[in-house]
Amino acid sequence: MRASVVLVTCLACLLPVGAVPGYAQVAKLYPVDQAARHPSFLAFRTRLLRAVRARDTTYVLSMVAPNIRNTLGNHGGPAEFRAQWQLASGGERLWSTLREVLERGGTFLGDTMFTAPYTSAAWPAGLDAFEHYVVVARGVRVRSQPATTAQVLAVLSYDIVRSTDGHPSEPAPGWTAVVLADGRRGYVISRSVTSPIGYRAAFARRRNRWYLVSLLAGD
């Protein structure tokens, strides 16, 4: 698979009425992971993922930078990190968030900064991140209603699709609403799409050691 972002022209106007399209909606955003470019970071990420899966709070806190950014505001630091992720009561949300971020690749900024996941790190310039979702799998069915028995409107793979601005994004538990290129509203299984402004992380190398320097969402 190519490790690049490829923009493609929508072909909606070429499809016959009633056809199930497999074309890109806005653009393609293929998975990309540059971690192997720097063996030290790849080893670090592998160890961190193992700690996340084991819910090893001690290790995770040991690699949190003293000035970690937890929000887009001016505050930060390990104490705020512990409180925000409720580590005293198990930190359930942290483990699922970090695992998703780390397992979805990412890109380097220079040689000492890695950002993840790829859905944020490789987002196409000039495309409004607030108005779109990324399909993170192959063969994702867009249905006419939030039900697995509903009509299939499209089948997408690694597409960027428009969100339903001004409408609830989750019309039913486990489903996310999207807008197809021809204007039709459809629904996809929520685990198959993500927002580019969701949680993302940045890791920096300082004094021959990698640290988590930010874990935040929004823009």
pLDDT digits (tens, 9 = 90+) for 140-183: 999 999 999 999 999 999 999 999 865 556 678 899 999 998 88
Domain that holds residue 71: 35-122+198-216
Judge if 156 and 60 occupy the same domain: no
Strand partners, 16: none
What is the per-residue pLDDT for 75? 76
| Same domain assignment for residues 115 and 161 | no
Confidence of residue 186 (pLDDT cuts 50, 70, 90): very high
pLDDT digits (tens, 9 = 90+) for 43-79: 999 999 999 999 999 999 999 999 999 988 767 899 9
Tell me the two tokens of residue 56: 């090893």
CATH number for the domain harbouring residue 165: 2.30.30.40
Phi, psi of 107 (to 5 degrees): -135, 160
Asked if residue 40 and residue 21 are part of one domain, the reply reads no
Query: How many domains would you assign to the chain?
Result: 2
Kindly state whether residues 143 and 172 are assigned to the same domain.
yes
More confident site: 164 or 216: 216
- pLDDT given for residue 170 in this prediction: 65
Tell me the average pLDDT of the chain: 87
Residue (of 102, 84, 86) closest to 212 by Cα position: 102
Q: Do residue 86 and residue 154 come from a single domain?
A: no
43/76 same-domain check: yes
Tell me the backbone φ, ψ of residue 194, rounded to 5 degrees. Answer: -150, 160
Whether omega for the bond prior to residue 171 falls within 30 degrees of 0, making it cis, is no
Is 7 inside a domain boundary?
no
What gap in Å lies between CA 211 and CA 73, rounded to an integer?
20
Q: For residue 5, is it within any domain?
A: no
The verdict on 111 and 205 lying in the same domain is yes
Q: Does residue 41 belong to any structural domain of this protein?
A: yes
Residue 53 within any structural domain of the chain: yes
Same domain, yes or no, for 42 and 104?
yes
What values do phi and psi take at 19, rounded to 5? -70, 150
